[in-house]
Chain A
Amino acid sequence: MSSSSLPLDPPRPLIPLPGGQGLRGILWQAVLVIALLLLGWSIYHNMQANMAARGLQFGFGFLGRSAGIPIGESIIPYTPADTYQRALTVGLLNTLRVAVLGILLCTILGVLLGIARLSSNPLLRGLVGAYIEVIRNTPLVLQLVFWHAIVLQLPSVRQALNPLPGVYLSQRGVKLPVFVADQALFACLAGFALGLLLWLVLAWRERARQRLSGERRSTLLPGLLLTAGLPVLAAAIFGAPRWDWPQLAGFNFEGGVTLSPEFFALLLGLVLYTAAFVAEIVRAGIQAVPKGQWEAARALGLPRGRIMRLVILPQALRVIIPPLTSQYLNLTKNSSLAVVIGYPDLVSVSNTSINQTGQAVEVILIFMTVYLLISLFTSLLMNLYNRAVALKER
């Protein structure tokens, strides 16, 4: 800004907004702060008065009491004899499980769809466009109920589909075999991690070499050998990891892990819904990169895939990341619609706890705080990432 411009009066705002000039500005801001304090005080007073009128006592003592409520699925061990605190923790972990997986999957699907939306193939472009419009313009609750109903159309447990050995699809959800967590498994995992690490080191050294010599050598083969070979070596020393295989016993499958139909329907609904929004954000981001960048990259002789990966996407990310963060927050908050189809997320467990204990204000305070913290943490991570990809002026 030049400092030698004429001393013009700043344009007068039509309404005196907070943040104006001089004394009046300060006055308005003071009024705003006082109004906010009054609002906060009146809400608090209102709650106090109403609870006193109903003879309710405010307190978190109930958290230590035995809950007695059964919860269908949990990552940590839980029985109805456990406390409300543990029950709410189970709900929180269930929310996080669906949110984290949902964010990962919707990003992958959304980026693919966003790129496909810009495809030169009219059929692909049209199909993806139709998908996005249909999904974005129907209520999520309806979609969740729809997917839940679809999942429940799967055959019963006794006639479960068996597409792969050990994998069963039925109304009770997806059954998968898992490894038993023992020494052999940890040895194999450690071998795999070591192989991956060595591959990274190798790739890093190759890149340094390429910078000097200009010659490009693939690290794919030695890398794969390392990541596959070390676990095999570990298995040879510590024994092969054992499988926990699902087997039909009585009413249901025993062993293995279960992805319940509720979890599956919720994840599917959230991913498909959010991916449609992500796709539009990605499309907009890509289109925001000037056409000259494409032409310049093409002039260098780069193939189309690599133009997208090395030139366009890194620049598009700057436009994509901020609105993408909102979509991640939306997905996490939308996961509370789980109540409709009976997935035991934080809100579902909280509702039941409110009903059994009568401590409505306390439980709602807890889950509001938890959602706030999850959202703030997600924003923090995304802001850090945004800073990393932002345009660096040197």
Chain B
Amino acid sequence: MKWAVLAAAVAAFLGLSAGDALAGRDLDQIRQRGVLRCGVQAPSNPGFGFPDAQGRWQGFNVEICRAIAITILGDPNRVEFIPVTTQSRFPALASGEVDILSNNSTWTLTRDSNVNRFNFPAIVFYDGQAMMVPRRLNVTSARQLNGATVCVQPGTTTELNLADYFRQHNMRFTPVVVADLDELRRAYDSGRCDVFTNDFAALAAQRTLLSRPQDHIILPERLSKEPLSPVIRQGDEELTNIVAWTVFALIDAEEMGITQANVDQIAATSTDPRVRRLLGVEGNMGESLGAARPDYARQIIRTFGNYGEIYDRWLGPNTPLNLERGMNRTWLQGGLLYAPPAR
């Protein structure tokens, strides 16, 4: 009896070590599980990803993840949102705790390289690093910040750009580095730092949470390019394609003037072959992409609208963030959003 227990214990050890290595591709696992595990910014990032009063995640990045879930699983609700900090996000992705990050992560060479082995399928937001200061300091340019104390999140490109910027201009600064964004904002709000630095959009979001938002200005300099993209692990081409073409579908829809309100009518009446292909009326693009249903793009637009509608809902002029479209307009309107042709 005793020996049987022992043998079982040993077998359990061996079984544990034999079955550990994750077999198959990420996409197969997501389909098997029936749920997409999406890493979002903890504790919250207004406009981009935040829990509402019912604890349901809302925002720009959240709808991107839900749109991807429609493509893979055919259902925007089959997503589990897992809050990750800037420090914990990449280990969480690398270890398989989340399938995808949708949390304003910047696409860089090191992260995309063989060292970290991540993949950035498509840029969903073009941003640049900025600095916020209290109005009463009478600072008008980042070049006047020699000797300042700067609040910054650890484990970010922001942190590295900040060091680079001050080195480049031969200025000194004292960093205050706190992983928890709420705690960091409180430190800035209470005057622990002269400067709060982050990507411009995220900074605008944080400003809405300060005790007196109107007392703070964002300086005109942009310290860096911050192309923000969902992130997945390297090694699954099919998942890469699905994420990229989900984003492209949102951009194409805005280009073609397809909106949440008119998508069904357009699908029924349009004679434009590009529109008919995108909405799954014609051709087999959904099937060749590996989507759950041939009309995935139509379902996404019916649920969330096109890129511009998602942007306006969470980040645009009618929101507390009040962000200009700027670089995030389609190329037809002079912006940088440009989706390869869906055909």
Residues of A within 8 A of B (CB): 31, 35, 38-39, 41-42, 45-46, 49-50, 52-57, 68-73, 79-81, 145, 149, 152-153, 156, 171-172, 249-252, 254, 261-262, 339-342, 344, 348, 351-352, 354-360
Contacts and interface: CB of A to CB of B under 8 A. Distances in A.
Given A54-B94, A252-B149, A352 B194 contact: no
A70 B175 contact: yes
Contacts of A68: 160, 163-164
A234 B167 CA distance: 42
A351 B20 contact: no
Contacts of B234: 55
Contacts of A249: 147
Contacts of A251: 137, 145-149, 194
Contact of A342 (B173, B183, B190): B183
A145 B187 CA distance: 11
Interface residues of B, number: 55
Most chain A CB atoms below 10 A, which of B90, B191, B234: B191
Q: Is the interface of B mostly helix, strand, loop or mixed?
A: mixed
B163 A152 contact: no
B176 A358 contact: no
Interface in B58-113: 86-87, 89-91, 94, 110
Contacts of A348: 154, 177, 179
Given A38-B13, A342-B179, 8 more contacts: A46-B16, A54-B94, A56-B94, A171-B192, A251-B149, A254-B147, A342-B187, A358-B115
Given A251-B149, A252-B149, A352-B154, A55 B16 contact: no
B43 interface: no
Nearest to B90: A355
B179 A339 contact: yes
A56 B89 CA distance: 17
A250 B144 CA distance: 10
Contacts of A254: 147
B149 A172 contact: yes
Nearest to A46: B20
B116 interface: yes
Contact of A355 (B14, B147, B154, B186): B154
Interface of B: 6, 9-10, 13-14, 16-17, 20-22, 86-87, 89-91, 94, 110, 114-117, 137, 145-149, 152, 154-155, 159-160, 162-164, 167, 173-180, 183-184, 186-187, 190-192, 194, 233-235
B240 to A, nearest CB: 15
Contacts of B6: 31
10 contacts: A35-B9, A149-B186, A171-B191, A251-B145, A252-B174, A351-B154, A352-B154, A355-B154, A356-B155, A356-B160
A352 B159 contact: yes
A53 B21 CA distance: 7
Nearest to B118: A358
Closest 4 CB pairs of A and B: A355-B155, A342-B178, A80-B163, A42-B17
Contacts of B192: 152, 171-172, 261
Contacts of B145: 251
